Amino acid sequence: MDKTIYLDNAATTFPKPECVYTFMDEFYRNYGVNAGRSGYKLSKKASEIIQETRTELSNLVGVNDQRKIIFTPSATIAINQVLYGLDWSKIRNVYISEFEHNAIARTLHHLSKKFNFKIHFLKFSPDTFEINTKDLAPKLINDKPDLVCISHISNVTGYILPIEQIIEMVSVSSPIILLDCAQSIGLVDIDLSKLDIDFAVFAGHKTLYGPFGVAGIVNNSKKVKLSEFIVGGTGSDSTNLDMPSDGTLRYEAGSYNIQAIAGLNAAIKWIEETKTNVIYRKEKELTDYLVNKLEEIEEIQLYLPKDRDRHIGIVSFNIDGYSSQEVASILDRDFNISVRAGHHCAPYVGRFLNTNEGVVRVSLSYFNDKEDVDILIEALNEILWR
Amino acid sequence: MDKTIYLDNAATTFPKPECVYTFMDEFYRNYGVNAGRSGYKLSKKASEIIQETRTELSNLVGVNDQRKIIFTPSATIAINQVLYGLDWSKIRNVYISEFEHNAIARTLHHLSKKFNFKIHFLKFSPDTFEINTKDLAPKLINDKPDLVCISHISNVTGYILPIEQIIEMVSVSSPIILLDCAQSIGLVDIDLSKLDIDFAVFAGHKTLYGPFGVAGIVNNSKKVKLSEFIVGGTGSDSTNLDMPSDGTLRYEAGSYNIQAIAGLNAAIKWIEETKTNVIYRKEKELTDYLVNKLEEIEEIQLYLPKDRDRHIGIVSFNIDGYSSQEVASILDRDFNISVRAGHHCAPYVGRFLNTNEGVVRVSLSYFNDKEDVDILIEALNEILWR
């Protein structure tokens, strides 16, 4: 079998930096015990790597306080923890974008069956992807936002949402703000100390180049104390039937996935050494190279923001006469190229892009290169010449 | 530093069989993509290992149907999924044992703030650990059980609960039965096809010798369909805001931890090759060896069932004049022996054993040997001679 060209990095970055595999295996072999439950040396070492990883992460996002990092097994669980942890008796108006992932969309839909709130859309122009401020301004006054959930980078279009602009616009009523950074932390600089964001969710296995099994919440809220969501043992105060009332433990029931956390630790160190802006520049250059090549193909329709500075890593398109699934299947079968087709767990983007059948999504990482893009472009041309 | 003697296997088995480390690393390096979301070859390979692991597990517990295996990131989340997934409007009387872990105890306590039900205890004799059938029989008629949650093996005492006897006794009202098998699957034979149990929860990283990050539910219920708990993307039917109404996907939102599942896959193959009864016999022999040695030390109080055939792997004790924490600290500091002290996330066991300060817990695995026990015994004697 020929080498596979992996272009599904928005699903999970693959491969990881070598140090992630190595350190994860090594740490798990040497210190693979249950952290935070015992006082012995091995357990302390495991606890130390957790604290160190919290510190690294908190520095990476500018909050510089390891107590603000809550670990969860997945970004989906992190988002569930935030949304289920809110006091819904106080929430009437929720604003989301059409770029949201089902981790947010389905969870809000599920909550809407129990609680009485309305979901409003921050509307973006399908031509430019710019936010429709004219319609939004009066709406924000009539239906004051209590909660705003937005993606930092769209997992379908690679669009970097104008979060500063959105935060400023919705600030009329000081809503709770949840930022879904699954596709952004590690790739774009983010300084949460300068943004009025309550909760930012990260996924270890995507732009952070860590493994599956670790994700979490940057809890930067001054106004909200989340209720517990997953309940269970915390290795502390065992005879108390309530979860700890303070600290990250309140949200971290069950055993820590020390192996995954060790992998994330190595990944963040790799990002710090490589530097986020270097990763960004390399990926941006490759993204632009891919976009330019795709634009040369007449039969291809691209779904891109007008402002290309707001676009990174993910390129979605369709080919006249083919469904997105057909394109992805042929690319895999005949060319060993891995891309994803369909709606990508983003329920509203199809409507926004005016495409019912989904899109072909090509998503890059630091480890892709121009040769990968060239092979893809050649394959697409071959499909069209058939 | 001398070699560490690790005797905290009830927290997590350590080390794992070599094949677990090797396969996990190898699989993640070669197929570390997002399973179940795409049709390309790598993703299919990742999906295959998930299906294969479901099949292996379902065979191991006798249900022989991979569709009955729901994966979760931890046993705590599995228990939360079951308990939050129940229809509480129909539940008045919940029976638990005093051996339950906080994954069950705290979750029920949390639910009791929202729903109107009563928690009853299946009472066991502190002298023999036998179930008090005389008091229980009339109670079961007055307060008919709607839900019964029991541990298969106590994580504090190593007591193998008489689940057949309990199931038979509570069957008067056909309650929902949840069995917490975190300390049992892989170590003791269990055939769920012959037991009237609705949900059995397993932890990949304990007696199954797999890694952190994978656990789950054997969904063997004919009478209950669980509601979804964690909500999010499933890589399917993305424009539908409801979770899938059927299948395991309903309970498996978010990315699969393919690395952890690969590790569990290797671990179950290792168990199948080694054979559960061989693992059991080796560990039982070592447990009895440890118990006999401890019984020779006058100052030690052991917490054991009368029927030693119902005891495996975990031995808890206290030493006159020392708190459990002191003993564990000295063993670690002076002898490099890792044991755990305290209440072990089991809120009622202290009351049951009549010890407020917790117990020293020594927990064995297949990879311990008599030399480990001898070193521990020597250390304990040295502490007492000081």
Q: Judge: B345–A233 Cβ closer than 8 Å, yes or no.
A: yes
Task: Give the per-residue pLDDT at A39.
Answer: 86
Alpha-carbon span A377 to A74, nearest angstrom? 34
Task: Note down pLDDT in tens along chain A; length 386 residues.
Answer: 568 999 999 999 999 999 999 999 999 999 999 998 888 999 999 999 999 999 999 999 999 999 999 999 999 999 999 999 999 999 999 999 999 999 999 999 999 999 999 999 999 999 999 999 999 999 999 999 999 999 999 999 999 999 999 999 999 899 999 999 999 999 999 999 999 999 999 999 999 999 999 999 999 999 999 999 999 999 989 999 999 999 999 999 999 999 999 999 999 999 999 999 999 999 999 999 999 999 999 999 999 999 999 999 999 999 999 999 999 999 999 999 999 999 999 999 999 999 988 999 999 999 999 999 999 999 999 999 98
> Residue A370 is encoded by which pair of tokens?
């121009």
* Helical segments of chain B, H only: 18-31, 41-60, 75-84, 102-112, 133-142, 163-170, 258-274, 276-295, 324-335, 349-353, 370-385
Long-range Cβ contacts of B322-331 (<8 Å, 24+ apart): B322/B383, B323/B357, B323/B358, B324/B357, B324/B358, B324/B359, B324/B360, B325/A39, B325/B357, B325/B358, B327/B360, B327/B380, B327/B383, B328/A38, B328/A39, B328/A40, B328/B360, B329/A39, B330/B383, B331/A40, B331/B376, B331/B379, B331/B380, B331/B383
> Residue B329 is encoded by which pair of tokens?
């600290």
B353 band by pLDDT with thresholds 50, 70 and 90 = very high
Percent of chain B, pLDDT > 90?
97
Q: What is the mean pLDDT of residues B232-257?
A: 95
Give residue-wise pLDDT tens across range A213-268. 999 999 999 999 999 999 999 998 999 999 999 999 999 999 999 999 999 999 99
Q: Residue B185 above 70 pLDDT? A: yes
CB nearest to A212's CB, from B243, B258, B337: B258
| Strand-strand pairing, B199-203 and B215-219 | antiparallel
Task: Give the per-residue pLDDT at B248.
Answer: 96
Q: Judge: A38–B341 Cβ closer than 8 Å, yes or no.
A: yes
> Residue B353 is encoded by which pair of tokens?
């054993």
Q: Judge: A338–B109 Cβ closer than 8 Å, yes or no.
A: no
Residues linked to residue B203 through DSSP beta bridges, in sequence order: B215
Task: Give the per-residue pLDDT at B3.
Answer: 87
> Residue A36 is encoded by which pair of tokens?
């935070």
Alpha-carbon span B143 to B49, nearest angstrom? 45
The CATH number for A5-17+275-385, chosen from 3.40.50.1000, 3.40.50.620, 3.30.360.10, 3.90.1150.10, is: 3.90.1150.10
Residue in the block written with tokens 């108390």: A240
Of B75, B70, B42, which is closest to residue B58 (Cα–Cα)? B70
Angle subtended at Cα A100 by Cα A98 and Cα A106, rounded to the nearest 5 degrees = 110
Shortest distance, CA A233 to any CA of chain B (angstroms): 5
Alpha-carbon span A212 to B73, nearest angstrom? 10
> Residue B173 is encoded by which pair of tokens?
């009202």
Using a 10 angstrom Cβ sphere, with 0-12 exposed, 13-18 middle and 19 or more buried, the burial of residue A218 is buried
Q: List b or e across B34-62, with b for residues whose CB sees 16 or more CB atoms inside 10 angstroms.
A: bbbbbbbbbbeebbebbebbbbbbbebbe
Of B232, B195, B203, B3, which is closest to residue B103 (Cα–Cα)? B203
Q: B340 contacts in A (CB within 8 Å)?
A: 37-38, 40
Give residue-wise pLDDT tens across range B284-322. 999 999 999 999 999 999 999 999 999 999 999 999 999
Task: Give the per-residue pLDDT at A38.
Answer: 82
Contact predicate A196/A176, CB 8 Å: no
Alpha-carbon span B43 to A9, nearest angstrom? 12
Q: B342 contacts in A (CB within 8 Å)?
A: 238
Q: A4 contacts in B (CB within 8 Å)?
A: 41-42
> Residue B95 is encoded by which pair of tokens?
């029976």
> Residue B226 is encoded by which pair of tokens?
């669980």
Q: What is the mean pLDDT of residues B189-209?
A: 97
DSSP A146-187: SEEEEESB-TTT-BB--HHHHHHHHGGG--EEEEE-TTTBTT
B36 band by pLDDT with thresholds 50, 70 and 90 = confident
Calculate the alpha carbon distances from A31 to A120, B211, B335 in Å. Answer: 48, 12, 18
Contact predicate B323/B357, CB 8 Å: yes
Averaged pLDDT of chain B: 97
Q: Judge: A39–B12 Cβ closer than 8 Å, yes or no.
A: no
Residue in the block written with tokens 């993509």: B33
DSSP B341-358: EE-TT-TTHHHHHT-TT-
CB nearest to A230's CB, from B21, B34, B77: B77
Alpha-carbon span A261 to A267, nearest angstrom? 10
CB nearest to A80's CB, from B212, B231, B338: B231
Q: List b or e across A342-357, with b for residues whose CB sees 16 or more CB atoms inside 10 angstroms.
A: bbbbbbbbbebbebee
Shortest distance, CA B246 to any CA of chain A (angstroms): 16
CB nearest to A25's CB, from B14, B25, B41: B25
Task: Give the per-residue pLDDT at A3.
Answer: 87
Alpha-carbon span A155 to A159, nearest angstrom? 8
Of B191, B146, B34, B154, which is closest to residue A75 (Cα–Cα)? B34
Q: Residue B2 above 80 pLDDT? A: no
CB nearest to A101's CB, from B80, B233, B243: B233
Q: A110 contacts in B (CB within 8 Å)?
A: 228, 231, 242-243
Site from A257, A264, A365 to mutate, B interface, most B CB atoms within 10 angstroms: A257
Q: B339 contacts in A (CB within 8 Å)?
A: 38, 40
A to B CB pairs, distance under 8 Å:
281
Residue of B nearest to A341 (CA): B38
Calculate the alpha carbon distances from A32 to A7, A50, B14 in Å. Answer: 33, 12, 7
Contact predicate A317/A301, CB 8 Å: yes
Alpha-carbon span A264 to A211, nearest angstrom? 6
CATH 3.40.640.10 fits B18-273, yes or no: yes
Interacting residues of B55 by C-beta distance below 8 A, sequence separation 6+: B66
CB nearest to A239's CB, from B37, B253, B347: B347
Q: Judge: B110–A239 Cβ closer than 8 Å, yes or no.
A: no
- What's the full length of chain A, in residues? 386
Residue in the block written with tokens 């379908």: A156
**Which residue ranges make up each domain of chain A?**
5-17+275-385, 18-273
Interacting residues of B225 by C-beta distance below 8 A, sequence separation 6+: none
> Residue A290 is encoded by which pair of tokens?
């891919």
Alpha-carbon span B320 to B322, nearest angstrom? 6
Q: B79 contacts in A (CB within 8 Å)?
A: 232
Alpha-carbon span A123 to A134, nearest angstrom? 10
Alpha-carbon span B154 to B160, nearest angstrom? 7
Predicted ipTM of the assembly:
0.97
Q: Residue B1 above 70 pLDDT? A: no
Alpha-carbon span B36 to B313, nearest angstrom? 38
Residues linked to residue A337 through DSSP beta bridges, in sequence order: A5
Task: Give the per-residue pLDDT at B236.
Answer: 87
Q: Is the peptide bond before A15 cis (omega within 30 degrees of 0)?
A: yes
Q: Judge: A6–B42 Cβ closer than 8 Å, yes or no.
A: yes
Calculate the alpha carbon distances from B258 to A7, B31, B45 in Å. Answer: 18, 8, 10
Task: Give the per-residue pLDDT at B37.
Answer: 82
Contact predicate B191/B4, CB 8 Å: no
Q: Judge: B342–A42 Cβ closer than 8 Å, yes or no.
A: no
Task: Give the per-residue pLDDT at B156.
Answer: 98
> Residue B328 is encoded by which pair of tokens?
């564990």
Q: What is the mean pLDDT of residues B183-212?
A: 97
At B379, which amino acid appears? A
Alpha-carbon span A262 to A32, nearest angstrom? 10
